[in-house]
Structure 1
Amino acid sequence: MYTPTPSVRAEGPAPSAAEILFSLGRKTGEIDSDAPTLAEAGGDTWAFTDVRQPAPELDKDRVTPHAAGEFYQYAGAREVSADFRYTCPDGRTVSGHARNWTVDLAGLADCDERPDSSLAREAARRACDQAGSGTPGPSGA
């Protein structure tokens, strides 16, 4: 299983990793701030700017359905990444790559219902096909 981790890789001197992740977070909508830089954000902090942020715990918050049927639960992380280019005050140019993740995909569904996302379809294919119900589940949806 792939585990997303925040990272910033630069070729040469660059702003801090937190500053670069702040810019990435603003562009992707993960960070809602009018400040042009993290340094100008007035002391606000965001977990998205922390390269030491631990991997998401996708196996928590288990839900017990209160109805008959075969159910599956799923969770996922969306990874965002971008190449960047920064021009230093002295005119030198630095380039690199930054990535981070957001946890925004989760659900509980019935094997008899049509999945509403690609992640839910994959989870249904894996869970419902193996549930032993004798039906192939909604994987062809």
Structure 2
Amino acid sequence: MYTPSPSVRADGPAPSAAEILFSLGKKTGEIDSGARTLAEAGGDIWAFTDVRLPAPELDDDRVVPRAAGEFVQYAGVREVPADFRYTCPDGRTVAGRARNWTVDLAGVTDCDERPDSALAGEVAQHACGRGETGTSSPSGD
């Protein structure tokens, strides 16, 4: 199983990881701030800038199906990767890659019914152990 984690890697001296993730968060819409940099944000705090942020855990009591059948609960994240280039005050250029995630995927799917999305189809295909689930293909077509 893959566990997402925020990360920033650079090929030399660069701003702090939080500063780079702040820039990424602004570009992706995860951070709504008029500040150009995290330093200019005046002490505001965003979880998106924390490289130690743990991956979300599946909350077992989100949904309780009230029907007969084999159900699979799933949760996931949307990973946001980006390459960056930073020019130091002395003119040197540093390149790197930043990655973070946002929680935006969760649901329940039935192994015997048509999945309502491509993701639900993939989940059912993997978890239910069938080549095809319900009455549709994993892509929901």
- Summarize the alignment of residues 87-126 of structure 1 with structure 2, pairs less than 5 Å apart: 87-126=87-126
Distance 1:34 1:61, change over 3 A: farther
Task: Show the counterpart of 1:85.
Answer: 85
- Summarize the alignment of residues 1-141 of structure 1 with structure 2, pairs less than 5 Å apart: 1-57=1-57, 59-62=58-61, 63-128=63-128, 136-140=133-137, 141=140
Post-superposition offset of 1:51: 0.7
Check whether the contact 1:125–1:138 (CA below 8 A) recurs between aligned residues: no
Distance 1:45 1:138, change over 3 A: farther
> CA separation in 2, counterparts of 1:117 and 1:36?
38
Residue by residue over 1:10-42, the C-alpha shift from the partner in whole angstroms, topping out at 9 and shown as x without a partner, is 111110000000011111111111211111112
Distance 1:61 1:42, change over 3 A: farther
Give TM-score, length-normalised by structure 2.
0.84
Could you tell me the percent identity over the aligned residues? 77
> CA separation in 1, counterparts of 2:133 and 2:94?
52
Q: What runs of 5+ residues in structure 2 fail to find an aligned partner?
A: none
Post-superposition offset of 1:114: 3.2
Give TM-score, length-normalised by structure 1.
0.84
Distance 1:72 1:138, change over 3 A: farther
Post-superposition offset of 1:136: 4.1
Check whether the contact 1:125–1:137 (CA below 8 A) recurs between aligned residues: no
Distance 1:136 1:20, change over 3 A: closer
Corresponding letter in the other structure for 2:119: L
Post-superposition offset of 1:56: 1.9
Q: Number of matched residues?
A: 136
Q: What runs of 5+ residues in structure 1 fail to find an aligned partner?
A: none
